[in-house]
């Protein structure tokens, strides 16, 4: 079954411009054209779902491209998945420490936050990079 770009966009929730970008990056491939409209195999919808999952997990498009074979199913690198899970665990640890520190600071009975040992430890940890702000991900292509 062949779908034109607008049908792929409707079924996947991925904008036509993002589909063209993904094709340019080599993540998906059209199978032809009908006039000016790109045509895709029905299986592209599943691949787009996999791309969405990868982006939600924080994988770069280049990392995902390395897992996609030109023909056939993706070859998902289990070691890469494990490394990403470890990275997410570290982010969770850092964010949990930040959350706990902020909750303490909000409820602390010290006259000033700067007199609270827990708040001061939190500030020092942030200053030396033990606690970092989560990295900004590239904006996710949206549907039209």
Beta bridge partners of 37: 34
**Whole-number Å distance between alpha carbons of 116 and 101:** 11
Q: What is the predicted pLDDT for the residue at 129?
A: 76
Confidence of residue 132 (pLDDT cuts 50, 70, 90): low
pTM for this entry: 0.71
For 69-95, the pLDDT digits (tens) are: 766 778 888 999 999 999 999 989 888
Find out if CATH 4.10.110.10 is the number for domain 2-67.
Answer: no
The phi, psi pair for 5, rounded to 5°, reads: -60, -35
Q: What is the predicted pLDDT for the residue at 124?
A: 86
Indicate the pairing of strand 2-4 with strand 37-41: antiparallel
* Residue 65 pLDDT > 50: yes
Highest mean pLDDT among 17-21, 102-106, 137-141: 17-21
Identify each DSSP E strand in the chain by its residue range: 2-4, 32-34, 37-41
Residue ranges covered by each domain of the chain: 2-67, 78-127
For 18-62, the pLDDT digits (tens) are: 999 999 999 999 999 998 899 999 999 999 999 999 999 999 999
């Amino acid at each position: 079954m062949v779908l034109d770009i607008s049908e792929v966009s409707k079924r996947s929730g991925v904008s036509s411009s993002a589909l063209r970008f993904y094709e340019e990056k080599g993540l998906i491939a059209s199978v032809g054209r009908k006039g000016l409209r790109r045509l895709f195999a029905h299986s592209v919808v599943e691949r787009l779902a996999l791309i969405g999952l990868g982006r939600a997990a924080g994988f770069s498009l280049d990392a995902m491209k390395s897992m996609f074979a030109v023909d056939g199913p993706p070859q998902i690198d289990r070691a890469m998945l494990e490394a990403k899970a470890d990275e997410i665990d570290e982010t969770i640890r850092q964010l949990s420490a930040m959350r706990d520190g902020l909750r303490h600071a909000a409820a602390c009975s010290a006259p000033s936050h700067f007199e609270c040992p827990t708040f001061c430890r939190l500030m020092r940890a942030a200053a030396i990079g033990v606690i970092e702000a989560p990295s900004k991900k590239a904006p996710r292509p949206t549907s039209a």
